[in-house]
Structures are given as structure tokens and as C-alpha cells.
Chain A
Amino acid sequence: MTRRTAARQWLLLLLAAVLFSTPAFAQPSDTGFLAMLGELRDASFADKDQILGRLIDSGHASAPRVLTAWLDDRLYARTADQKVFIITSADEKVDPVGLVDPLSLKNAGSSTRDALTRIGTNNKLRRTLRIAVARFDLANPDASVRLAAVTEMLRSPDEAGAELLKARAAVETDARVKAEIQMGLSLVALDGPDAAVRLAAVQTLASRSTQQVRNRLALLLDKNPDGSDVETDEAVRQAATAAVRRIDRSRTMFGMVETLFFGLSLGSVLVLIAIGLAITFGVMGVINMAHGELMMLGAYTTYVVQVLMPKHIGISILVAIPAAFVVAGLAGVIIERTIIRFLYGRPLETLLATFGVSLVLQQLVRSIFTANNRAVETPQWMSGTLQLGDALAITYNRLYIVIFTIIVFAILLAVLKRTRLGLQIRAVSQNRAMAKAMGIRSEWVDAMTFGLGSGIAGVAGVALSQLTNVGPNLGQSYIIDSFMVVVFGGVGNLWGTLIGGMSMGIVNKILEPYAGAVLGKIVVLVALILFIQRRPRGLFPQTGRSAESQ
């Protein structure tokens, strides 16, 4: 940007500031402004509408605040002296409530609600008010406020608004606000008399995919009651037809992408909660009913880490991941050493014993943290949405959970395939006696394997703490899902768990719009039951000798 254009922009900005925020044409007298407010008290809605017009035109410095307050139901008249005030809260429970002088915008004491009468609005007034407030906001230095203001104005585009937007477009620096203004101007231009301008507007709008643009363009293709076309120009009609078709196509595609993404993020949660189980259940053949409680331990670890470092919520979640792995992993090793190692080869009995463990763990956190849910804060960098085009918004937490799952899966896979421990784990699970003969300390490997699976459950718990309430029952609500995923994917197969979990998530999300969340889930469960009939050992059954021992 050259110095000259920069200077010119500054000049324009200054001009705009003058235009929008300070009395522009004639300095309205404070008394005149107050008189208008005074008139509002007893005016009919029609009169109010007319007074509102004058208030807007007055350009008084206090007008934006007063009109915003009026829109928020915070403009009141004091019964005693009929003076108009802005009150500080619209909440009926705040009583007495603070008063603000509408002229000086300074505090003017307080009053009980009984002594005040609200200056009411109706729908028509609220519409005008909303646009008026949006116009004031257009001059706001904060780009996001300006964007919201433009969006608000676009809800009912008109000529007057268009003039404002045009003026704003000339000085606007923010690209997103600019694009939004362009869209608004084009929408207004569709009503213009010049066919060439309308055509240009349609072509501009064709690149947008919002519902509003689509509906507006579709209106061009309607017919009048007498059979003639609403849009008289043939070229504009053709352009509009093409644009509507393009928008519909892209919206359908975005819709599919969105469903797919929702499915993937749900699938990621399923994979995450199941992958630890895929190790303990799949590799070791232990039905670990305490798996859910190990996730719960991970979630509580996240909470404790946050309590320990309240000033660094953003980092705390990253600290919590290894912490949860260690806590849950240690718990797993202890469970394995004290209970499970006596029950190898008796899978149904490990179910009972680990169920007992799960009850103890639940009661343990209840004793330490009480039965109430604990609030785990979401770090700043995980909230918000990523807007991709007009029709696709992805929330960051969903995005991160997909990425997180992939990372966890990759690490786990690497541990099993590339490390010495992984080799030993695979050896022991395939043939314990032979592995022992080769000098592998199978007992130690068992403990490590169980610790690894439990640690992963703890890591899953960190993710769950961001998605659901952290309470003693957290584990129970996920345990069934995690078993389903492992069984669907095929016991003893990590890839099966990944593909099984992801496809269950996607199918669930595809069904949801048609069947609703609950029915969709029922359908998935029944489908799973039927699927197991076809493939009794899951998607990717184990082959070879180790398969028979399951």
C-alpha cells in the first residue's frame, strides 16, 4: 500500500467517522432530543414509528445508545416525573435497577421497577430499530461488529441501507466485511431498473452459497399471477437459473461434506474410546469392564491439572494428556498385577472381576470429588468455528478430536509395530509358550500391555472431558459403545477398530436426519447385531492359530 492511498483511506475513514458518529448535518439541540424521547412515552405505535424516524435523522450523539437500549427493552419512563431513562439490565429479577441518563449517558441513580414504565415496541418498530442500530454499528472499529451489522442489514435489504453500505464499502478494509457488503449491494441491485446492472448482480451473487442468496435468486424465476415472468430480461433469467442450480449443487455438496465430517468426528470419539479396549480386549483377551472408569480417571486427571494451573488453561490440556496416560496406565498396571493375572484364560470371569473394579473406582472418585459433575474448561484455542465458504462451518473442537484420534492411533500403531515392546506384545499374544521359550518375560509384557491399553483409555478421557460432563458415571455411558466398536472391527485388529469406529460414526450421522438421533442409534445397533450374523468375528477376523483360542 503506497503512502498516498493510505493517506486517502485515512481521510475517508475520518469522513466516515464524521458521517456516522457525530452530528453530521445540523447539531440537534439536546432539548429537541429530549423532547422527542418525552413524546415516546404516550405515543401510539404509529407515532412512535414516526418519532423513531426523527430520532435516527437527528444524528444525536446519544442516539445509538438510546436506540440500542430501546431495542433491548431497556428504555423506561419514570412515573413520578415522566423522565425517560435507560436502565442497566433488562432482567426482571434485577430490582431496583440502575438508571442512565439518555442525554449525558451518565449514571443517574437507581429506581425500583414499580416506579418505571417501559416504552414498548412492536415487531415493525423492532425491525426499524434493528436496522438503525446496525447502521450505527457499521462505523464500529471492531471488524466483527461491522460484519454482524452488515449481516443484520442484509436481512432486509433496502435502498437506504444500500446507500450506507456503498459509503461503507468505499472505506472498508476488512476483506470479509467487504465481501458481505458486496453481496448486500448485489441483492439490492436486483430490484433496480437496469437489466445490465441486475445481470452483473446475479453474476456476483452466483459465487455465494447462502440460503438467502439462493432464495432471492429463485424469486427471479417465479411467474406473476398473470403468467408473465417476474424478471423481464431473458439474459438475467438465464443467469439466475444457472446461479440457482450452481448454488444448489454446492449446498448439497457442502451438506454431504458436513455430514461426512460430523460422522468422522463422532467416529473419532468412538475410535478413541475403543482403541484402548482393542488392546486389552483384542490383544490380551481380557474383557475389561473397568475400561470406562479408566477413561473417567483420565477425565478427572484433566480436571485436576486445570485446578493446579488455573492461569494456563490453554496449556493445561496438553499437560493433561501425558498425565492422564500415566495415571490411567498405572491404575491399569495395578489392576493387572493384583487381579487380572490370576484370571488369564477365563475371559468371562475377568468380566466379573473388572466390573467389581469399575464399581470401586466409581465410588473412589465419588468419595474424593463428590458425586457432582466437575467443570473442565475448554481452552480458548479449541472453541470457535472454522468457516469454510458460505455453507460449511466446522467447530474447532470437532476438528481437533479428529486430528487427535489420528495422532493417537498412529502412535499406538508405531508402538506395536516398531518398538521392542510392541514386538514382545505381539509375540505373547500369538503364542505365549513359544515367546517364553525365547526369553520374553511374559508376565512383564502382560502388565505393560494392560498398562498401555489403560493409558490410552486415560488419554481418551482427556478428550471426553471436553465433550461431556466429567462425573462418576462418565465411564458407564461409553463402555457399551466401545465394546461395539471393537467387536464390529474384529477383535485383535487395530485397523479394524479404526475403520469400524469411523464407519459406525458416519452411518450414525447419515441416518440421523431421517430417523432422529435415538432411532438412528437403534438402527445402528440392530444392523450391528445382524452384521455379526454374517461375520461372527467382525470386519477383520483374526486368522491363524491364535484365532481359535479366542
Chain B
Amino acid sequence: MTRSDQTGTAFVSTLAIAAVLVPILNQLVPVSSPLHVSTYVLTLIGKYLCYAILALAVDLVWGYCGILSLGHAAFFALGGYAMGMYLMRQIGPRGVYGDPLLPDFMVFLNWHQLPWFWHGFNHFPFALLMMVLVPALLALVFGWLAFRSRVTGVYLSIMTQALSYALLLAFFRNDMGFGGNNGFTDFKELLGFDLHRDSTRVVLFVATAIALGASYMACRAIVKSRAGRVIRAIRDAESRTRFLGYKVESYKLWIFVFSAVLAGIAGALYVPQVGIINPSEFEPINSIEIVIWVAVGGRGTLVGAAVGAVLVNYAKTYFTGALPEVWLYALGALFVLTTLFLPRGLMGLLPGSGDAQ
């Protein structure tokens, strides 16, 4: 058993314990007890876990395949929007305007019928399919174009950023039919369960923890497989791998699409927990932040990415609350120091992590 297997096992076990313990501390421990976990904190942790899935997605393509995507926030947001559309349809006639079919913002814009792409989102299985399919399709088309033409390195990074930026601008437009700059909010229920009830929150939390665990297992399986070794070979010497006869483009494309799907799932789990989705999720700066989490945790380690996402976001929550003016200094210094002194991230601090690659 290698070192990375040990950390991986530790990670999954911690996650499993958290998935059981946190709900118990929230539901069964009385509020007066110091051990009680409030629903606010539970939702907050749930949010971090969504970010951890997103970080896994980025680590998979960047850490193992060398594709620095600055557009993963877009896949995340698309998954979130698909979930948001389902949640909007669930509101039904309980909106402010009470229209049985149209969401409030459409009534507000004087629309009289549902745009074609909104049909079907009242069925959860269909919405679920879309949460996965829409990011996957975008990644497929973009990746197919980009990898086939051998757009690599910084060019690819900037292009993914352009993609995300174009989507940001598009989703800001009211006539796109996605609520313009307000996006979707005021959700009522998911699968008939009230989103404001603690029990629903707990279930969402557990679902997120399970999704993170499953994502991690899937990523680990991929990087451990033969294909995973080819992918790492592409990262280290793309041309050489190509000359050895491997179809570099196909490997890159499938890993990119899978990563986009993970990001979409993370977004879909994120939206019901935070209760809002709007175009600012497409902001290119968000994509950069994801890369930062991965870098802080340790690129190409999977566990490190997830840990980095949770830690950086915890620090963000803490600092923006306690010392808002210090936060950006701290964050900025963190990135500079990490890249200068911890090129392998926090995971590089663990003894014997050298053979993890």
C-alpha cells in the first residue's frame, strides 16, 4: 500500500465519519450543548464539500493531464443552472405573480409562454440528466475543437477563460431566458421536500458528502488505471506520448468531459444549499480561485485538492467575517507563498509523499 493510498483511505474515512457525525450533532444533540452543529454551519460545510468536488474536477485535468482549465466555474454554473431550472419549476403557482407555469421573472418580462428549453425541467430525472449532460456537451464540443487543433498551454487556459466570460455575458442578458443578472432564487422545495427545513438540509449534506466520496473514488480509479498512466504521460511529454502511438486527443477529451461532469454535479448540489444561482458564478475569477485551491492543497494529489478547497474557503469565511480588510492580503500572500515555497502544496508537507506521483 503506497502513501497516497493511505492518505486516500484516511480521506474517505474522515468523510464517512463527517457524513454520519455532523447530521447527528445537528439533529440529536440539543441546541444548548457545545457540541451542537447549527444548520448554518452544516450548510456551510455542505458548500465546502461542493467546492471540494469542483477542486477534484480541476485537479484531475490540471494535476494529472496538464490542462489548466480556467473555465471550470462555467461547468459548475451550468450544472447549477440546470438544478435551478428544476427548482424554479417546482415553485409552480406559489411565485409572487402566482403564474402556474411561468417563473416570476418571465411574468415580469411579459413573456406568455415557456421557452422550449424550459420544457421537461419539471421532471427531476430529466433535470438530473441535464445537470450532467449540458456541461458534458459543452466540454465535448470545446475540447474536441481545442484538442484536435492542438491548442495547448496558456492558449488553452485563455480560451477556456474566454468561454467562461462569453457565457457570463450571455447569462446576464434577460432575453436568454435564465433570469438575467438576478438569476434564480426563492426556491421552495426539492422533490417535494421543503428546502428550508433542517431535515432537508441534512439530507443534502449527506448527499454531497457521498457525492464527494464517490467522485474521489472515481478519480482515483481513473488515475490508477492504465489510462491514468497515459494521461500522466501526456502531462509530462505530450509529443512523445503521441509518437508512441497513443491517441492523445481522445484521452484529453474524455478526461476533460468527465471533469466537466464532476463540476456540473458539484454545481447542482451547491444551488439548493445556498439557495441562489446567478451569472456571477461564471466570473472568470471563480475559475482562478478553484485553481488556487488545488495549488494550495497540492496539485496532482486529489486529496490535496479537496482539502485545499475546504481550507481556503474556511479561511475565506473566517477572514471576511472577522477581518475583512486583511482577507485579500492574506489570500494574496497565501498564493504567492504557496507557489514560491510549497510548489507541491500542503500535501507536499506530508512525509514520504514523493512517490505519490
A residues with a Cβ closer than 8 A to B are 281, 287, 289, 339, 342-343, 347-353, 355-360, 362-363, 366-367, 476, 480, 483-484, 487, 491, 518-519, 521-522, 525-526, 528-530, 532-534, 536-538, 550
A352 and B155 contact, CB distance less than 8 A? no
Given that A480-B284, A518-B169, A522-B169 are contacting pairs, would A360 and B158 also be in contact in the complex, using a CB cutoff of 8 Å?
A: no
Q: Choose one: A351, A476, A536; the contact of B151 (CB below 8 Å).
A: A536
A-B interface, 7 closest residue pairs, ranked by CB to CB distance from nearest: A356-B335, A359-B332, A360-B332, A363-B328, A525-B166, A356-B336, A356-B332
Q: Which residues of B contact A538 (CB under 8 A)?
A: 155
In the complex, what distance in Å separates the CA atom of A522 from the CA atom of B145? 18
Pair A339/B340 contact, Cβ less than 8 Å: yes
Chain A contacts for B155, CB-based, 8 A: 487, 491, 532, 536-538
Report yes or no: B295 in contact with A352, Cβ–Cβ below 8 A: yes
The reply to whether A339 and B284 contact each other, CB–CB distance below 8 Å, is no
Contact check, B288 vs A355: say whether CB atoms are below 8 A apart. Answer: yes
State whether B154 touches A287 (Cβ < 8 A).
yes
Q: Mark B149-170, 1 if CB is under 8 A from A, else 0.
A: 1111111011101110110011
> Measured between C-beta atoms, what is the minimum distance from B331 to chain A in Å?
5
Per-position 1/0 for B163-183, Cβ under 8 A of A: 101100110110000000000
Residues on A with C-beta less than 8 A from B151 are 532-533, 536
Given pairs A359-B328, A360-B329, A537-B155, 17 additional interface contacts (CB within 8 A)? A351-B68, A353-B335, A353-B336, A353-B340, A356-B336, A359-B329, A360-B328, A360-B332, A362-B328, A483-B158, A483-B161, A529-B162, A529-B166, A532-B149, A532-B159, A533-B146, A536-B149
Q: Separation in Å of the B161 CB from the closest CB of chain A?
A: 6
Residues of A within 8 A of B150 (CB): 536
Contact B338 A352 (CB under 8 A): yes
11 contacts between A and B (CB under 8 A): A289-B288, A352-B335, A353-B336, A362-B328, A366-B328, A484-B162, A487-B159, A522-B166, A528-B162, A532-B149, A533-B145
Is B333 an interface position by the 8 A CB rule?
A: yes
Q: How far is the CB of B101 from chain A (nearest CB, A)?
A: 28
The SS class assigned to the A binding surface is helix
Measured between beta carbons, the chain B residues less than 8 angstroms from A363 are 325, 327-329, 332
CA distance A538 to B340 in the complex (A): 31
Alpha-carbon separation in the docked complex, A370 to B349 (Å): 38
Contact status A519-B146, CB under 8 Å: no
Chain A nearest Cβ from B144, distance in angstroms: 10
Closest Cβ of chain A to B68, distance in Å, is 5
Q: Which of B149, B165, B173, B328 is A519 in contact with, Cβ under 8 Å?
A: B173
Asked if B292 is an interface residue, CB under 8 A from chain A, the answer is yes
Q: How far is the CB of B37 from chain A (nearest CB, A)?
A: 31
B13 interface residue, CB < 8 Å from A? no
| A518 and B328 contacting across the interface, CB-CB below 8 Å | no
Digit string of B320-357 for contact with A (CB within 8 Å is 1, else 0)? 00000101110111111011100100000000000000
Inter-chain residue pair count (beta carbon < 8 A): 124
Interface string of B286-319 (1 = CB under 8 A from A): 0010011001000000000000000000000000
Among A287, A342, A355, the residue within 8 A (CB) of B340 is A342
In this complex, the member of A367, A484, A533 whose beta carbon has the largest number of chain B beta carbons within 10 angstroms is: A533
Tell me, yes or no, whether B44 is within 8 Å of chain A by CB. Answer: no
Smallest Cβ distance from B347 to chain A, in angstroms? Answer: 16
Q: In the complex, are the beta carbons of A355 and B145 less than 8 A apart? A: no
Contact check, A339 vs B288: say whether CB atoms are below 8 A apart.
Answer: no
Is B285's CB within 8 Å of the partner chain A?
A: yes
A536 closest partner in B (C-beta): B151
Restricting to B127-159, which residues have a CB under 8 Å from any CB of A? 142, 145-146, 148-155, 157-159
In the bound complex, do residue B170 and residue A522 qualify as a contact, i.e. CB atoms below 8 Å apart? Answer: yes
Of chain A, the residue at the smallest CB distance from B161 is A480
Asked, given contacts A356-B335, A476-B285, whether A343 binds B340 with beta carbons under 8 Å apart, the answer is yes
Q: A480 to B145: give the CA distance in the assembly, Å.
A: 21
Residues of B contacting A287 in the complex (Cβ-Cβ under 8 angstroms): 154, 157
- Contact A487–B285 (Cβ < 8 Å): no
Q: Is the CB–CB distance between B336 and A339 below 8 Å?
A: yes
When chains A and B are docked, how far (Å) is the Cα of A281 from the Cα of B158?
12
Given contacts A362-B328, A521-B169, A533-B149, contact A355 B343 (CB under 8 A): no
The reply to whether B173 and A359 form a contact with Cβ atoms under 8 Å apart is: no
Closest B residue to A487 by beta carbon equals: B158
Report the Cα distance A483→B158, complex, angstroms: 7
Is the pair B146, A352 in contact by a Cβ cutoff of 8 Å? Answer: no
Collect the chain A residues with CB atoms within 8 Å of residue B152's CB: 536
A363 to B, closest residue via Cβ: B328
Q: How far is the CB of A536 from chain B (nearest CB, A)?
A: 5
The smallest beta-carbon distance between A128 and chain B, in angstroms, is 40
**Which residues in B have their C-beta under 8 angstroms from that of A367?**
325
